Chain A
């Protein structure tokens, strides 16, 4: 069973829209959670860590629900430059496990 599951999308939204991505993880012992961003044919880069209390970084808000083993990412006021694949990541033992990613396409 895949440890981190995401809706693959694609999500096609207009500029200025609000979009939410969801992710579930199966390992109840996971302690660390992240969202990474990957542009086409590039390496993944950290977007933000996800904390139990929820956290915000500009237009991006991440939430963690440990009881439901659920992580979310909310993007407000979408920009063309937000077009990318967003990877949900959870720790598993001494390594990190990546979801397959959710593709976002923002159009003008």
Chain B
């Protein structure tokens, strides 16, 4: 049972380059999320998708775009990477959201460095 799979696990970019982080879940969950985690800052929500076809901004959406491609997949795109986007990115999914939110299942993380 794969759960939540993120790719790539590691990436080094130069300032101004673009890239897409891919995420897929095989648990038939409705909701998916992208978080970033920085030392001393904890996990911060970038974007989330409460259900297929919807996306909403979280705490720190600037510099990112997302696509909920289908129920399984939720991608995060950096159009023009900046050093401030150096971080560990976690994708997560849950059966539902809001009041019915239960357990979040996380991927193993993607470590991104922007030079």
Contacts and interface: CB of A to CB of B under 8 A. Distances in A.
B42 A94 contact: no
B98 interface: yes
A91 B102 CA distance: 10
B58 A100 contact: no
B11 to A, nearest CB: 16
Contacts of A95: 33, 45, 48, 56, 58, 97, 101
Interface residues on A, range: 20 to 34
A87 B42 contact: yes
Interface in A9-46: 31-32, 34, 36, 42-46
A82 to B, nearest CB: 20
Contact of A99 (B42, B97, B99, B106): B42
B97 to A, nearest CB: 4
Contacts of A100: 40-42
A98 B109 CA distance: 16
B74 interface: no
Interface string A76-108: 000000000001000101111111110000000
Contact of A91 (B33, B99, B103): B99
Contact of A46 (B44, B98, B104): B104
A14 to B, nearest CB: 27
A96 B42 contact: no
B66 interface: no
Contacts of A99: 42
Interface in B37-85: 40-45, 48, 50, 56, 58-59
Contacts of B59: 97
B106 A43 contact: yes
A93 B57 CA distance: 12
Given A43-B107, A100-B42, A93 B98 contact: yes
8 contacts: A32-B99, A46-B104, A91-B98, A97-B45, A98-B35, A98-B43, A99-B42, A100-B41
Interface of B: 31, 33, 35, 40-45, 48, 50, 56, 58-59, 90, 97-99, 101-104, 106-109
